[in-house]
Chains A and B, each alone.
Chain A
Amino acid sequence: MQPILDVENLVKEFPFKGDKKNGVPRAIDDISFQVFEGEALGLVGESGSGKSTTARCILHLLKPTSGKVSFQGSNVLEMNKNELKSFRKDAQIVFQDPYSSLDPRMKVGDIIGEGIEIHDPKISKQELRNEVIEMMELVGLRPDHFNRYPRAFSGGERQRIGIARALAVKPKLLICDEPVASLDVSIQAQILNLLQKMKEELGLTILFIAHDLATVRHLCTRIAVMESGKIREIGDRSQIYENPQHPYTQSLIAIVPEPDPISERARLVERKLSKLKEQP
């Protein structure tokens, strides 16, 4: 099977002035992975692991230092302006912070419709409006929200706007960069369920970035675990959760808290004891 996205030996360095004795720090340190059509791949890592930088390099929002990103067989990094424009229609992103990622001076309908218009400048006003309303209904927003500004919406609703905006141009690949991290628990579940539904109904391919392994478990069938710019382990859901090979993956699984007081108390005691053992 041909991958829809193929990342090969991707490196991103952030050079700085001054002492380079220890080399230039690498946010992404030679990673390779593939995303196949119709699947949801989870990319999991803690802050500073390089997961968001990876997303930005894939979409060419950042220029990687070296490596190759292929989308449906063509190298994203060598695309000309027109190719890049059509790539950006096919690959969309939902950002983490639904507050800073929506233009506060644009109406919701315009935010969602902007992409449609850019890629289809001849579209009639009525058609555009119909498409936008269709998108709004798809993600669970009311059509009468069309003329409101983002400030009138809660975090979860803003994230729905962000998802509608991304899906409006009918992308093949949707990159979600921690889309639920800043939301209330009851709303997180709504957004995760919405993405699951979009995946099934639209045949969407999803690259879902998260900082913990619990969030991606129900949505993603394959998981990649990142640490210090490297992919430590990549595998099927069953392997990652039931038989993790890399010690880092194991520690990341062990650390996720669960709403289960008896096991949480046991883990609290366990951590306390292992800490006591460490001390001389």
Chain B
Amino acid sequence: MIGNKIESKVAPTHAGGPLLEVKNLKVSFETVNGRVLAVNDLNFSVQTGQRIGIVGESGSGKSVAAQALMGILRGADISGEIIFRGTNLLELEEDHYRKLRGWDISYVFQDPLSALDPIRTIGDQVSQVLRLRNVKAAEAKKKTLEILDRVGIKDPQRRYNDYPHQFSGGMRQRAMIAMALIGEPSLVIADEPTTSLDVRVQAQVIDLFNKLTEEQGTAVIFITHDLSIMAGFAEDVHVMYAGNIVESAKTDEIYYRSIHPYTLGLLGSIPRIRGPVLKSLTAIKGKPPAPTDIPPGCPFHPRCTYASSECAELKPTLQIPKSGNHLSACHHSELLSQKNGSR
């Protein structure tokens, strides 16, 4: 691994435990309308090489949580613990964080056009990750050409000197992925990496993540609003709503035996290409709440078909219902798990 030659990858103390452990993470912002809690008590962990999916719509807090992990949130109040290889990143000094970022934890942004610098060549930007770690220019270029080739950019020699505007949307996303993976990180956070792309290119990007993470044993946190795109990729899925995880389980449990009304609603909202043609889709009524305006009780209750008086008053905790086998934050999870759960 080239990493060893340059500098060791962060804390050596990590042994056995999960690669990443997020405990009671809360992120809030001070706004003109008062304090806004964007992420409310997030708990999850990622094992080495594991693929985690985080699903949520706008305002669910999924991107804020990801950016908190990367230490790139400015002006936010962050509390809780983000333990990466045994070190709490929230206590890390900026100097150390910078060495880690883009190197052992990297990030793929949603919009590659605004994430890439328009006036620098692709090769320059991808190789920068290495040059910043004092890899010699010739060696950095060689590695960059290799990774560009591996992410499926044809004729990398010529493309190395191209500018982002000369790349198509899919190619730019490949360049972003190349940049994220060139340091051989142990964790990649991909924030809606497929959202602005054509379906065909989406599949190519998923295949690419699949291939590279398999080859390198990289753990991935894949964030999306699209339950279809990551169905074949993620091993575990966390569903987020209004700053909370509302359901959390193995992928098949979420898709085939969900016990949360929001997840069930999301699944019903997706137009299918196979199966019976439905008269109408089972849409969720209303819209996701703004972080400034989270309803009391269960944040989903105004949109929920199962809501009862209890839901408007008491916020449900994330727990495994008696006859269920995975985490859900809903007062009706018990009922739903008898209906949908362990069949």
Contacts and interface: CB of A to CB of B under 8 A. Distances in A.
A52 B277 CA distance: 26
Contacts of B73: none
Nearest to B228: A257
A106 interface: no
A90 B225 CA distance: 36
A213 B272 CA distance: 9
A185 B256 CA distance: 18
Contacts of B265: 186
Interface stretch (B87-95, B206-214, B322-330): B206-214
Given A211-B199, A214-B271, A189 B283 contact: yes
Interface in B22-41: none
Contacts of B78: none
B222 to A, nearest CB: 13
A74 interface: no
A272 interface: yes
B231 A260 contact: yes
B270 interface: yes
Given A218-B281, A268-B206, A241 B255 contact: no
Contacts of A262: 252
Given A185-B57, A192-B281, A217-B277, A257 B269 contact: no
Given A185-B225, A215-B271, A264-B232, A157 B287 contact: yes
B58 A154 contact: yes
A44 to B, nearest CB: 10
Nearest to A256: B273
Interface residues of B, number: 45
**Chain B at the A interface: SS class:** loop
Most buried by A among B270, B271, B288: B271
Interface string A208-244: 0001111101100000000000000000010001000
Interface residues of A, number: 45
Interface in B257-308: 265-274, 277-285, 287-288
Contacts of A258: 228, 231, 270, 272-274
Given A256-B273, A271-B207, A193 B280 contact: yes
Contact of A47 (B169, B225, B255, B277): B169
A188 B270 CA distance: 8
Contacts of A192: 271, 280-281, 283
**Chain A at the B interface: SS class:** helix
Interface in A246-265: 251-253, 255-265
B280 A196 contact: yes
B226 interface: yes
A214 B272 contact: yes
Given A47-B169, A193-B280, A259-B255, A185 B231 contact: no
A193 B210 CA distance: 35
Contacts of A186: 57, 265-266, 269, 283-284, 287-288
Given A261-B252, A264-B232, A188 B269 contact: yes
A40 to B, nearest CB: 13
B202 A257 contact: yes
Contacts of A185: 57, 225-227, 266, 269-270
Interface of B: 57-58, 169, 198-200, 202-203, 206-207, 210-211, 225-229, 231-233, 251-252, 255-256, 265-274, 277-285, 287-288
> What 3 pairs between A and B have smallest CB-CB spacing?
A264-B232, A189-B283, A189-B269
Given A196-B279, A267-B232, A268-B232, 8 more contacts: A46-B199, A186-B269, A211-B199, A257-B199, A258-B228, A258-B274, A261-B256, A268-B206
Interface of A: 46-47, 154-157, 184-190, 192-193, 196, 211-215, 217-218, 237, 241, 251-253, 255-268, 271-272, 275
